[in-house]
């Protein structure tokens, strides 16, 4: 049964001018180590701007922006402010993991304020806490229960498979699991009634919803720009360069095999590697490695025109899916030999689950899984480059599962929250509670 306020948080289209009672403030920051955290906030800002919500970037005087934020990004239309002068009766902020990036200082030993904490406090002081909603964009596809998080923590930490189950039992008995549960809730700021925690993913996880009813699961957050252009752009030439966003530290371990597979043989393919890290290996002819920031438009053209792109994390993965053309995925590996294991594999696991449901070719799914593990690297690259078997066929779109509108798209939920808050007298806590309840119904 819908609550009395459900109409105000219903599906969001592209209507403009109906959210003039709210202003949006972006709090971009790097949380997990990759630059995708920043792009995700800007993508949400593009959804808001497209819906007619005024977008702001407010930073107190004398406070530099967090690292990497003032770079060559594709910003939505916005105004930069160093003084608050509210022109609306309510505010909505967007940040990555609000409990880390914008929460105030807490008790020691890990109670440091987030890099946007002062600005968040200023906004609540200017608009009122119950007229301010903080949208917290949590890690994509990370919807694990506490038990699953414990098992995954041991796996990624290098515990051998046969020893994980006993280790998990010991962790539960010693209180370690309960401590993780408590600290997870604390650092996500689940106790804050005006924080809207969005956990975007490919498939809604009921067990996660039951354990964390404060979390609002949604479908993925799109870029709010690529989908509209892909219908008009020409199909890329097979001679255009491949592109590789090589963010993980272990990406360089794959580089010799990737470069050799593309540059040797009767049909060589050029490659552009973009990395935020230093790069030791010398590129062979036909390969360009760039470790300096790219202008947003230049990188976007290369990314869209590439016949195949190698992506990582969540943002470049979702943009590759928006384009609907072949890609490979590598989010890093840890360890060597028999102890080698994938870093944060939940995204590719979720992708392969949806790819199976979309009936992607079985050889493509196998190649994606192996490449993500750092296996059969050269062979997979050659198969993709030569369009062998499933690589030469179109792939059906990947659809999120288990969501009702507007929860099937994170951007629609952000806009719906803004429109609800724009209503005179609307309560931030009431809107957040309504969205939590409806998403977990």
Higher pLDDT, 90 or 72: 90
Is residue 175 a part of any domain in this protein?
no
214 in the same domain as 196:
yes
Predicted TM-score of the model (pTM): 0.91
Q: Kindly tell me if the per-residue pLDDT of 368 is higher than 50.
A: yes
Residue 45 sits in the same domain as residue 133: yes
Give residue 237's pLDDT: 52
Does 65 lie in the same domain as 23? Answer: yes
> How confident is the model over 86-112, as a mean pLDDT?
91
How far separated are the first and last CA of the chain, in Å rounded? 9
Categorize the per-residue pLDDT at 59 as very low, low, confident or very high, splitting at 50, 70 and 90. Answer: very high
Distance CA 235, CA 391 (A): 16
Cα(135)–Cα(133) distance, rounded to whole angstroms? 6
In this predicted model, which residue has the larger pLDDT, 6 or 308?
308
pLDDT of residue 35: 84
In the predicted model, what is the mean pLDDT of residues 64-81? 93
169 part of a folded domain: no
Beta carbons within 8 Å of 189's beta carbon, 6+ residues apart: 98, 99, 103, 136, 195, 197
Do 242 and 385 reside in the same domain of the chain? yes
Q: How confident is the model at residue 137 (pLDDT cuts 50, 70, 90)?
A: very high
The answer, yes or no, to whether residue 68 has pLDDT greater than 50, is yes
436 band by pLDDT with thresholds 50, 70 and 90: very high
Residue 55's CB is within 10 A of a number of other CB atoms, namely: 22
Average pLDDT over residues 208-236: 78
Contact between residue 277 and residue 269 where contact means Cβ atoms under 8 Å apart: no
Residue 27 lies in a domain: yes
Residue 90 falls within a domain, yes or no? yes
Task: Please indicate, yes or no, whether residues 77 and 208 belong to a single structural domain of this protein.
Answer: yes
Q: How confident is the model at residue 109 (pLDDT cuts 50, 70, 90)?
A: low
Mark whether 384 and 406 lie in a shared domain.
no
> Sorting pLDDT into bands at 50, 70 and 90, what band is 2?
very low
Residues 249 and 115 occupy one common structural domain: no
Name the residue range of residue 74's domain.
6-138+188-220+402-439
Element (H, E) at 137: strand 132-137
> Which of 150-183 are b and which e, b meaning 16 or more Cβ less than 10 Å from the residue's Cβ?
bbbbbbeeebeeeebeebbeebeeeeebeebbee
Look at 343 and 8; give whichever has higher pLDDT: 343
Q: Which residue has the higher pLDDT, 234 or 422?
A: 422
Same domain, yes or no: 36 and 58: yes
Q: Give the residue, 107 or 129, on which the prediction is more confident.
A: 129
Give the pLDDT confidence score for residue 225 in this predicted structure: 79
DSSP strand pairing (215-218 vs 195-200): parallel
Report how far Cα 232 is from the mean position of its chain's Cα atoms. Answer: 26
- The total of other beta-carbon atoms located within 10 Å of residue 421's CB is 31
User: By percentage, how much of the chain surpasses pLDDT 70?
Assistant: 92
Judge whether residue 20 has pLDDT over 90.
no
pLDDT band at 231; cut points 50, 70, 90: very low
Q: Is 161 inside a domain boundary? A: no
Q: Is residue 179 part of a domain?
A: no
The verdict on residue 152 lying in a domain is no
CATH number at residue 75: 3.40.50
How many residues in the chain? Answer: 441
Q: Tell me the C-alpha distance between 277 and 289, whole Å.
A: 11
Last residue of a domain, one of 369, 392, 415: 392
Between 80-84, 321-325, 358-362, the lowest mean confidence (pLDDT) is in 321-325
Please report which confidence band the pLDDT of residue 32 belongs to, taking 50, 70 and 90 as the band edges.
Answer: confident
Contacts of 148 (CB under 8 A, 6+ apart): none
Give the pLDDT score at 335: 82
User: Has residue 256 been placed in a domain?
Assistant: yes
Each residue's pLDDT tens digit, 270-296? 999 999 889 998 999 999 999 988 888
The answer on pLDDT for 375 being more than 90 is: yes
Residue 9 clears pLDDT 70, i.e. is over it: no
Indicate whether 406 and 387 sit together in one domain. no
Task: Based on the fold, state whether residues 18 and 43 are members of the same structural domain.
Answer: yes
Q: How confident is the model at residue 207 (pLDDT cuts 50, 70, 90)?
A: very high
| 110 pLDDT above the threshold of 80 | no
Let me know whether 40 and 74 are in one domain.
Answer: yes
- Read off the pLDDT of residues 293-325 as tens digits, 9 standing for 90 and up: 888 889 999 999 999 999 999 999 999 999 998
Q: Does 350 have pLDDT greater than 90?
A: yes
In this model, does residue 391 exceed pLDDT 90? yes
Q: What is the pLDDT of residue 4?
A: 31
Residues 53, 123 within the same domain: yes
Please give the average per-residue pLDDT across 66-81, as a whole number.
Answer: 92
Confidence at residue 14, expressed as pLDDT on a 0 to 100 scale: 44
**What total number of domains does the chain contain?**
2
Per-residue pLDDT, 91: 98
Q: What is the pLDDT of residue 238?
A: 53
Provide the pLDDT for residue 168.
92
Beta strands in 144-286 (DSSP E): 195-200, 215-218, 242-245, 271-274
What integer pLDDT is reported at residue 34 of this predicted model? 73
pLDDT digits (tens, 9 = 90+) for 151-199: 999 988 888 889 999 999 999 999 999 999 999 999 999 999 999 999 9
Calculate mean pLDDT across residues 410-431. Answer: 97
Mean pLDDT of the chain: 90
């Amino acid at each position: 049964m819908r609550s009395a306020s459900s109409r105000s948080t219903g599906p969001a289209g592209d209507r403009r001018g109906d959210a003039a009672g709210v202003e949006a403030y972006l709090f971009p920051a790097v949380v997990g180590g990759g630059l995708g955290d920043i792009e995700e906030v800007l993508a949400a800002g593009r959804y808001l701007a497209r819906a007619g919500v005024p977008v702001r970037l407010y930073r107190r005087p004398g406070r530099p922006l967090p690292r990497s934020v003032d770079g060559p990004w594709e910003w939505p239309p916005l105004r930069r402010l160093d003084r608050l002068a509210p022109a609306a009766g309510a505010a909505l902020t967007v940040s990555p993991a609000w409990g880390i990036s914008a929460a105030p200082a807490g008790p020691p030993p890990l109670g440091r304020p987030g890099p946007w904490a002062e600005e968040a406090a200023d906004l609540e002081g200017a608009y009122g806490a119950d007229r301010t909603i903080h949208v917290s964009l949590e890690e994509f596809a990370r919807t694990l229960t506490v038990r699953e998080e414990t098992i995954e923590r041991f796996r990624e930490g290098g515990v051998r498979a046969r020893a994980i189950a006993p280790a998990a039992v010991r962790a539960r008995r010693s209180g370690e699991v309960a401590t993780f549960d408590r600290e997870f809730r604390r650092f996500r700021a689940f106790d804050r009634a005006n924080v809207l925690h969005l956990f975007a993913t490919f498939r809604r996880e009921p067990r996660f919803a039951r354990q964390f009813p404060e979390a609002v699961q949604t479908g993925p957050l799109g870029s709010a720009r690529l989908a509209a252009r892909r219908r008009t752009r020409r199909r890329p030439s097979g001679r255009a360069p491949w592109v590789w966003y090589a963010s993980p530290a272990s990406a360089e371990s794959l580089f010799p095999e990737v470069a050799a597979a593309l540059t040797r043989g009767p049909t060589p393919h050029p490659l552009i590697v973009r990395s935020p890290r230093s790069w030791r290996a010398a590129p062979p002819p036909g390969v360009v490695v760039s470790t300096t920031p790219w202008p947003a438009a230049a990188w976007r053209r290369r990314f869209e025109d590439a016949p195949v792109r190698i992506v990582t994390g969540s943002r470049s993965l979702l943009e590759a899916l928006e384009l609907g053309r072949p890609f490979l995925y590598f989010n890093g590996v840890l360890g060597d030999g028999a102890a080698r294991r994938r870093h944060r594999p939940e995204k590719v696991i979720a992708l392969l689950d949806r790819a199976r449901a979309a009936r992607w070719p079985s050889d493509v799914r196998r190649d994606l899984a192996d490449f993500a593990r750092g296996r059969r690297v050269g062979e997979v690259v050659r198969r993709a480059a030569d369009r062998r078997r499933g690589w030469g066929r179109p792939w059906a779109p990947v659809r999120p599962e288990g969501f009702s509108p507007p929860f099937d798209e994170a951007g629609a939920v952000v806009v719906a929250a803004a429109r609800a808050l724009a209503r005179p007298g609307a309560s931030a806590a009431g809107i957040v509670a309504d969205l939590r309840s409806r998403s977990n119904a």
